[in-house]
Structure 1
Amino acid sequence: MPSLIEPTQPIAGFETNRIALRDGITTRVLDTGTPQGADPSAPPVVLVHGLAASIEIWRDILPTLAASYRVVAFDLPGFGHSDKPDVDYRALSFFVPMFHAFLDAAGIDKGHMVGSSLGASLLIRHGSRHPERYASAVCANPGGFGTHIHPFLRVPTIPGLGAVMSRPQRATNAFGVRIAVHKKAKRTRALVDEVDAFSRLPGAHRAFVRTLRGIATPLKVKEMDVFEREARQFEALEIPTRVVWGEQDRIFPVAQLETVQDYMPSARREVLPEVGHYPQIDAPDAFCTILLDHLHEAEQRLSHVRNKSR
């Protein structure tokens, strides 16, 4: 099936373009520009999606955020309309340096980072190493804070058979949408069509399987001790942070917020009822309210720091 989303098609009315990262890898980027009346020197809001997602996952919150802030979103390499190289898709050796390369290529010295799922975990890993790039962070339903992952995402990690058993099929992709999106009305045919189309792009399945195998085995989550050190280091850097979780998340259960409280006690924690793994889909208005409140507080803090340094 051909992709229903062309690489240059606007998303929520905003144009997309391509950008070169590193090692010959390019990806798609959306930049809303600075809205009229906003401070052009203010850090932009940078949106980082998760596993097997794309810029499109932010479409319902883009207009609201872009009314007050410059918003920049991109396809993580391996997903969406990015290049999908034949590499090991591991967090520290691939996603962290690729995200850093994206910030450099986009000319973003410092940003308000907003991550979802894998993208949220990526912010903690990257931010613990490069705190100078962070004005603030919002992590929505991040992985890494517990051993439970829905069995659906363990299947691809089975040696040998996993890649075959998880090959793109519409029924399988529809089930993936069902466990990730809590509200039935939000699990539209158009959303399933979009997920199914992206999963069939050349190299997409390979990236999906290798990313999961870098995270987990059929029986356990890998390198949890490493992520704990990164999260505690992120906490020590005093980056203004909120962690948002859908109460009905079936991918990473909301109980994992207890570990967030242990590793990152200063992070403000928010639980959204009747919301699954993607608050930007299940409850875009409520999620935007949290984001705008967080951004307002973070900007006030930045202004206070700038005034003190004068």
Structure 2
Amino acid sequence: MATVDTPFGQVNYRVAGPQDSAAPPVVFVHGLLVNHELWTGVADRLAAEGIRSYAPDLPLGSHPIALSADADLSPRDIARLITDFMAALDLTDVTLVGNDTGGALCQFLVDTDHARIGRLVLTNCDAFDKFPPAPFGLIVKTGRSPMRLRAMMATMRPRMLRHSMLGFGGLVAKPLDPALTRRWITPSLSDAEVRRDTAKFLRKVKPAELLDVSTRLGAFGKPVRLVWGTADRFFKLADGQRLRQAFGDNAELVEVDDGRTFLPLDEPERVADEIRALSYSRG
């Protein structure tokens, strides 16, 4: 693992793939209460094909390093943090890839400053006013208080509850690794400053703001690929279809049969294939 300094504070990230890759770099954006490990299987498959990728740990509850105490962490601020991360590593012509809450952050990013972005890949994710989808609004409301966030995360200590349909279990089609999900909940359990960061973000989550962003997605004007699991209980195929229309003629929708929210975990090879295909297609 590596770290890089940004105006928001230090960011931890995983890098994979050859340093001298001729392919555009890939930057992964994860969602709430998970970390860079959501993307490890995808990143390793891309690395085997000679594509270098970067997976930062964002301040969404599973990050190992808290940001500066005075950092603003609205969704648009975190979009700026991702841009600052890319600038610190001098990444350009980036293939930006988002999942779940991370997909919403990608939409805020391209609405704010997409100069470093060459193309966009979104798997099942928040869109329009589904930020978050039911029933996860309760998690957002609870997590706005650091004290209540810790209490909520404590209920996920038992593997049975962590992997239940009310935990991470409803987001996958395949069995979860208990050690992985334990690592996801540990920072919010053990670090008050991580809880502070996460609560800051959750207090600024407003569905109306993402809905407003959706009205300008067509201005992005660069290649977009939506890789959408068709069996997702929370982000339906209709959401992906509507998002494709919002991005306009440069977007295409790829359906993944039986895929659910955490498509990068369930179908890393398929997701990697779609990223690779778009990365080598210069639009």
Does TM-score exceed 0.5, indicating one fold? yes
- Alpha-carbon distance in structure 1 between the residues aligned to 2:244 and 2:133: 19
For structure 2, the 5+ residue unaligned runs are: none
- Displacement, 1:279? 1.0
- Correspondence for 2:128: 145
User: Does 1:177 find its partner at 2:168?
Assistant: yes
- Alpha-carbon distance in structure 2 between the residues aligned to 1:222 and 1:109: 30
- Alpha-carbon distance in structure 2 between the residues aligned to 1:209 and 1:252: 24
- Correspondence for 1:256: 239
Letter in 1 for 2:173: H
- Displacement, 1:35? 5.8
- Provide the TM-score with structure 1 as the length reference: 0.77
Contact 2:226 2:244 in 1 (8 A): no
Cα RMSD between the aligned structures?
Answer: 2.6
- Alpha-carbon distance in structure 2 between the residues aligned to 1:166 and 1:52: 12
SS of match in other structure, 1:268:
strand
Q: For 1:65-214, list aligned pairs within 5 A.
A: 65-67=46-48, 68-78=50-60, 79-86=62-69, 89-92=73-76, 94-147=77-130, 149-157=133-141, 163=149, 166-169=152-155, 170-171=157-158, 173-175=162-164, 176-183=167-174, 185=175, 187-202=176-191, 203-214=193-204
Larger mean CA deviation between 171-180 and 132-141 belongs to 171-180
- Cα distance change of structure 1 residues 121 and 127 upon mapping to structure 2, 3 Å threshold: same
SS of match in other structure, 1:76:
coil
- Alpha-carbon distance in structure 2 between the residues aligned to 1:224 and 1:30: 28
- Correspondence for 1:7: none
Higher relative contact order (CA 8 A, sep 6+): 2
Letter in 1 for 2:214: E
- Cα distance change of structure 1 residues 88 and 249 upon mapping to structure 2, 3 Å threshold: farther
User: Does 1:26 find its partner at 2:10?
Assistant: yes
- Alpha-carbon distance in structure 1 between the residues aligned to 2:233 and 2:122: 17
- Cα distance change of structure 1 residues 100 and 201 upon mapping to structure 2, 3 Å threshold: farther
SS of match in other structure, 1:190:
helix
- Provide the TM-score with structure 2 as the length reference: 0.83
Bigger radius of gyration, 1 or 2?
1
SS of match in other structure, 1:297:
coil
% identical equivalent positions: 21
Deviations 1:101-155 (A, max 9, x none): 1111111133111112222222222123323211111011221234371313424
- Displacement, 1:272? 1.3
For structure 1, the 5+ residue unaligned runs are: 1-15, 302-310
Contact 2:97 2:121 in 1 (8 A): yes
Letter in 2 for 1:116: N
Q: For 1:44-59, list aligned pairs within 5 A.
A: 44-59=25-40
- Correspondence for 2:212: 226
Query: Match for 2:269 among 273, 279, 285?
Result: 285
Deviations 1:35-91 (A, max 9, x none): 67x42xx43111121212211111112221112212122111344223244455311
- Alpha-carbon distance in structure 1 between the residues aligned to 2:237 and 2:196: 29
- Alpha-carbon distance in structure 1 between the residues aligned to 2:199 and 2:59: 14
Letter in 1 for 2:12: R
Aligned residue pair count: 270
